[in-house]
Structure 1
Amino acid sequence: MTTDHPASADAADAADTDAGTGPPGLDLGRLRTHLDAERPGLAAAPLTGRLIEGGKSNLTYAVTDGASRWVVRRPPLGHVLATAHDMRREFTVLRALHPTAVPVPEPLLLCEDDAVLGAPFYVMEHVDGVPYRTAAQLARLGEDRTRRIVLELVDTLVALHSVDPEAAGLGDFGRPDGFLERQVRRWGKQLAASRSRDLPGIDELHERLGAALPASGPAAVVHGDYKLDNVLVGDGDAITAVLDWEMSTLGDPLTDLGLLLMYSGQQDPDSPVAALGGAPGYPSTDELTARYAQGSGRDVSSIAWYTAFADFKLAVIAEGIHYRYTLGQTVGTGFDRIGSLVPRLIEQGLTTLQEG
Structure 2
Amino acid sequence: MKGLDLERLRAYLDSPPLTAAMFAGGRSNLTYAVTDGTHRWVLRRPPLGHVLPTAHDMSREHRVLDALSRAGFPVPRPVALCTDTTVLGAPFYLMEHVDGRILRDAADIAAIDLRGLTLTLVDTLADLHALDPDKIGLGDFGRPQGFNARQARRWKQQLDASRSRELTGIEELHARLAVDIPEGGPATVVHGDFRLDNVLIAEDLTVTAVLDWEMSTLGDPLSDLALMLVYAGRPLLVRDGEPVAPIDLPGHPSLGEMAARYAARSGRDVGDLHWYVGFAAFKLAVILEGVHFRYTKGQTVGPGFDTVGAMVPALIEQGHRALEGH
- Would you call these one fold, judging by a TM-score over 0.5? yes
Aligned residue for 2:180?
A: 212
Between the aligned partners of 1:243 and 1:224, the Cα distance in structure 2 is 11
Superposed counterparts of 1:172-211, under 5 Å: 172-211=140-179
Q: Which runs of 5+ in 2 are unaligned?
A: none
Q: What's the secondary structure of 1:95's corresponding residue?
A: helix
After superposition, residues 171-320 of structure 1 pair within 5 angstroms as: 171-266=139-234, 275-320=245-290
Give, as a single letter, the amino acid of the residue that structure 2 aligns with 1:344: A
How far, CA to CA, are the matches of 1:194 and 1:270 in structure 2?
27
Residue identity matched to 1:303? L
Q: Return the offset for 1:274.
A: 6.4
State the 1:148 CA deviation.
Answer: 1.2
SS in 2 for 1:305: helix
CA distance in 1, matches of 2:302, 2:84: 25
Residue 110 (structure 1) aligned with residue 57 (structure 2): no
Q: Which secondary structure does the structure 1 equivalent of 2:41 belong to?
A: strand
From 300, 303, 308, the counterpart of 1:338: 308
Contact residue 135 and residue 278 of structure 1 kept, 8 A? no
In the superposition, relative to structure 1, how do residues 75 and 253 fare at CA in structure 2: closer, same or farther (>3 Å)?
Answer: same
What is the CA-CA distance between 1:81 and the residue it aligns to?
A: 1.2
Q: Which of 100, 124, 130 is matched with 2:71 structurally? A: 100
Q: Distance in 2 between matches of 1:223 and 1:112?
A: 23
Residue 195 of structure 1 aligns to a residue whose secondary structure is coil
- Distance between the aligned counterparts of 2:161 and 2:58, measured in 1? 20
**CA separation in 2, counterparts of 1:120 and 1:134?**
32
**Percent identical:** 60
1:135/1:275 contact within 8 Å kept? no
Shift in Å, 1:293: 0.3
Gaps of 5+ in 1: 1-22, 37-42
Whole-angstrom CA distance in 1 between matches of 2:200 and 2:111: 17
Instruction: Give 1:140 shift.
Output: 2.9
How far does the alpha carbon of each residue in 1:199-252 deviate from its partner, in whole angstroms, 9 at most, with x for none?
Answer: 110011101111021230111000000011100001311100000000000000
| Shift in Å, 1:302 | 2.3
Q: How far apart are 1:282 and its partner, in Å?
A: 1.0
For 1:99 and 1:80, locate their aligned partners in 2 and report how far apart those are by CA, in whole Å: 30
Tell me how far apart the structure 1 counterparts of residues 72 and 167 of structure 2 sit (CA, whole Å). Answer: 42
Q: CA deviation at 1:266?
A: 2.6
2:134 equivalent in structure 1: 166
Q: Structure 1 stretch 270-279 or stretch 24-33: which is displaced more?
A: 270-279
Q: State the secondary structure of the residue aligned to 1:110.
A: strand
Aligned partner of 1:191: which letter?
L
What secondary structure, in the 3-state scheme, does the structure 1 residue paired with 2:303 have? coil
User: Which amino acid in the other structure matches residue 13 of structure 2?
Assistant: L
Amino acid at match of 2:288: A
The SS at the match of 2:34 is: strand
Q: Which amino acid aligns with 2:97?
A: H
Displacement of 1:267: 5.6
Q: Distance in 2 between matches of 1:204 and 1:340?
A: 19
Q: Secondary structure at the match of 2:17?
A: coil
- TM-score after normalising by structure 2: 0.96
Deviations 1:231-286 (A, max 9, x none): 00013111000000000000001110000000112369789976222121111100
Q: Indicate whether 1:57 and 2:28 are aligned.
A: yes
User: TM-score, normalized by length of structure 1?
Assistant: 0.88
- Residue range with higher mean Cα deviation, 154-163 or 208-217: 208-217
On the 8 A contact 2:198/2:210 being kept in 1, the answer is yes
Q: Which residue of 2 aligns with 1:34?
A: 12
Cα distance in 1, alignment partners of residues 185 and 214 from structure 2: 23
Residues 104, 238 of structure 2: 8 Å contact kept: no
With over 3 angstroms needed to count, the CA separation of the structure-2 counterparts of 1:269 and 1:168, relative to structure 1, is: closer
Structure 2 distance, partners of 1:70, 1:335, is: 26
Deviating runs (4+, > 4 A) in structure 1? 267-274
Q: Note the alpha carbon deviations across 1:36-57, whole angstroms, 9 max, x for none.
A: 2xxxxxx4x2100011111000
Distance 2:283 2:243 in 1: 14
Q: CA deviation at 1:303?
A: 1.2
Corresponding letter in the other structure for 1:95: D
Q: Which amino acid aligns with 1:347?
A: E
Residues 104 and 236 of structure 2 are in contact (CA less than 8 Å); yes or no, is this contact kept in structure 1? no
Q: 1:335 to 1:92 in 2, by over 3 A?
A: same
State the distance in 2 between where 1:121 and 1:274 align: 33
Q: Structure 1, residues 290-314: CA drift from partner, whole Å, max 9, x if none?
A: 0000110111122121111111001
- The structural deviation recorded for 1:67 is 1.8
